[in-house]
Structure 1
Amino acid sequence: MNAPAPMALAGVRVVEMGQLIAGPFAGKTLGEFGADVVKIEPPGAGDPLRNWRLIKNGTSVWWQVQSRNKRSVAIDLRQPEGQQLARQLIAEADVLVENFRPGTLEGWGMSPDELHALNPGLVILRISGYGQTGPYRDLPGFGVIGEAMGGLRALTAEPGRVPVRVGVSIGDTLAALHGVIGVMMALYHRKVNGGAGQVIDVALHEAVFNVMESLIPEYSAFGAVREAAGSALPGIAPSNAYACTDGWVLVAGNGDSIFKRLMATIGRDDLGAAPDLADNAGRVARVAEIDAAIGDWTKPRTVQQVLDALATARVPAGKVYTAKDIAEDPHYRARDMILQQPTRDGYTVEVPGIVPKLSATPGTVRSNAPHVGDDTDAVLREMGLSAEQIATLRDKAIIQ
């Protein structure tokens, strides 16, 4: 039997105090690469994500992904004794993840200064709607608001129509991923520069804004306000979605040589050979004509017929996948991006695999998502509490 692969974050202890999406997604990512993630949940219902979207055997199937590789400790943080337990946990941790409204930790006597007095090496990841400073810091902010303020929502629409949601909580996830990057940089800095921790301040709207490409430089240099463009890629041609008899296909024919191969494939060598279409600027000027030509070719064909023809011509193209398409796709399976994961609710569910893929220290699913407070006793015993002390805390409803 092969020895288990080493874990990149083995030995790193994370205390997760967030709930729902942004903070817990950061904790999930750290846990998949070996961190020991101890999730503090309120007694009773626990993290509200447990009851979001589709429920099976009493628990959201989303929870099974978001909370794998975590241990659940149910502590009532509204009570001073619960706050003291949290401080004891954090005193021995490497990382604290929280996504409460700014000021919540401070109200519990757990400001960064107070926590660093207990644990100078602590890395504190704080994710919030607007950040820990600035005139909006105290406003409530969810991911959708961050997407709007960050500039994304204005672009996710057909021209002249209502801005729409991307379809997933992309603002929360982008904030979480930026937070994980910050945690890794802070841990590295701590390792090579004397052991001091620091605070990572991630605002939802700033994480979205950070991926908005040329939005602000174009406004600064030209006064250009980028508008919604539907499925097209503004300023790049041709790159769009085109209707087929049984769905939609995305075609990216915007490279100079790729464009010529695409036009040959659709029987429009006249466009492929046109001198003014030899570069992107010329194609952008005639994008409506080019899109119409591609659409006329795809319309009487199936998605698979289009994909086969464009693959032969080495033109990038892809189907618009649904959940069913993903679950049945052999490439996803070949790269372990669909995993069979047992649950503590008595069934097995297919879940997304782990990204990124590291060659020497790959991520793994080591444990399934816990019930509320499954690990309370074990974690408190690790902290040195006796069975009698744990029983007393449970009798007082400090823990579950």
Structure 2
Amino acid sequence: KRTITLDLSAPTGRDALLRLAATTDVIIENFRPGTLEKWGLGPAELSAVNPRLVLARVTGFGQSGPYAHRPGFGTLAEAMSGFAAITGEPEGPPTLPPFGLADSIAALATAYAVMTALAARATTGRGQVVDMAIIEPILTVLGPQPLWYDQLGYVQPRTGNRSRNNAPRNTYRTADNAWVAVSTSAQSVAERVMRLVGRPELIDEPWFATGSGRAEHADELDEAVGHWIGRRTRDEALAAFEKAEAAIAPVYDVRDVMTDPQYRALDTITEVPDPELGPLRMQNVLFRLSETPGAIRWAGRPHNADTEAVLTEAGLSPSEIAALRATGGTR
């Protein structure tokens, strides 16, 4: 990534962007609908200089519809998608995530959409517009709730850490005041957990044979698992579950993430050089490719650091860049 500044509302800034767009594969923008068009940089103008361009437009509510011109943020998507309504304790308020969940999901969905558009371009030779509304990807990953309601009239309630599909599934406090999370999405794992915590007789109960049946008896199962874990330290509980091939994980904060051996083995938190601050530790590239692995070259470029280099590569002469600065098109 490189960083440049352009004032797109200035005619010279607009013209500079069109010069850049002529040799660009993808432009991503997140202005309110109509803003690019107001500056004379809408899809028609951009496509005219580069018919192969993919323009990804990310907004809160999309490019059309009654809410299109409202200010849109991830928090609103987390509320409107149904996420907040099903998150939290049953008697507590709807709960929002303490980070940009909807924004992050929308970013991943946008990357996928752009790659899809580029794949289509390889066949058609033409670019296209990607219309990404932040309210949509998070709704998609929440699962079949619309179908449940449409066919069964079912509205998923808040259940805290519990699941309506299986049990035991919760977080449990250990004897040394740490927390662990247990999941029994597979029947065989649920049976191993019950044997481990000394309650094998529950396996013979008719309701234990299905995830939904176990979920209906979550109080009893949670009591059994919680009592067993509560008498052991976190390390003891983790070791016993691992030996029994049952699914458990410690509840980490960021300090634990930074020292976990699995994250270290994957280089999930990697060291990146910084000329001013020295080595920085941060999240690595999201995935590993066997033939073309990626890497983080720098943590972040100073604001406006690459304007002159990028514009020169786009074909602007020194006098044109100077005129661009003089007219307020860039800094």
Asked if these proteins are the same fold (TM beyond 0.5), I'd say yes
Supply the distance in 2 between the matched residues of 1:355 and 1:295 (Cα, whole angstroms): 34
Per-residue deviation, 1:158? 1.1
Matching residue within 310, 315, 327 for 1:379 = 310
Conserved? CA contact 2:166–2:184, under 8 Å: no
Question: 1:312-351 residue pairs with structure 2 within 5 A?
Answer: 312-351=243-282
Look up the match of 1:275.
Answer: 206
Partner of 1:362, secondary structure, is: coil
Distance 1:368 1:261, change over 3 A: closer
Matching residue within 143, 149, 152 for 1:219 = 149
Q: What RMSD in Å do the two structures reach over aligned CA positions?
A: 1.4
Look up the match of 2:283.
Answer: 352
Distance 1:275 1:162, change over 3 A: closer
Matching residue within 154, 174, 186 for 1:244 = 174
Per-residue deviation, 1:344? 4.3
Gaps of 5+ in 2: none
Partner of 1:380, secondary structure, is: helix
Q: 1 or 2, which has the higher strand percentage?
A: 1
Look up the match of 1:139.
Answer: 70
Question: 1:62-81 residue pairs with structure 2 within 5 A?
Answer: 70-81=1-12
Look up the match of 1:306.
Answer: 237
Amino acid at match of 1:228: R
Question: 1:73-112 residue pairs with structure 2 within 5 A?
Answer: 73-112=4-43
Per-residue deviation, 1:93? 0.5
Conserved? CA contact 1:337–1:353, under 8 Å: yes
Amino acid at match of 2:249: G
Gaps of 5+ in 1: 1-69
Deviations 1:188-232 (A, max 9, x none): 111122x10011111111011111112111111211111111111
For the pair 1:361 / 2:292, whether they are aligned, the reply is: yes
Deviations 1:345-393 (A, max 9, x none): 3332100111121111122223441111100110111122222222232
Deviations 1:13-51 (A, max 9, x none): xxxxxxxxxxxxxxxxxxxxxxxxxxxxxxxxxxxxxxx
Per-residue deviation, 1:233? 1.8
Across the two proteins, how many residue pairs are aligned to each other? 330
Deviations 1:290-309 (A, max 9, x none): 11111111112222111111
Conserved? CA contact 2:161–2:171, under 8 Å: yes
Conserved? CA contact 1:147–1:171, under 8 Å: yes
Supply the distance in 2 between the matched residues of 1:383 and 1:254 (Cα, whole angstroms): 54
Calculate percent identity across the aligned residue pairs. Answer: 38
Supply the distance in 1 between the matched residues of 2:226 and 2:78 (Cα, whole angstroms): 31
Per-residue deviation, 1:102? 0.9
Conserved? CA contact 2:174–2:180, under 8 Å: yes
Matching residue within 300, 308, 323 for 1:392 = 323
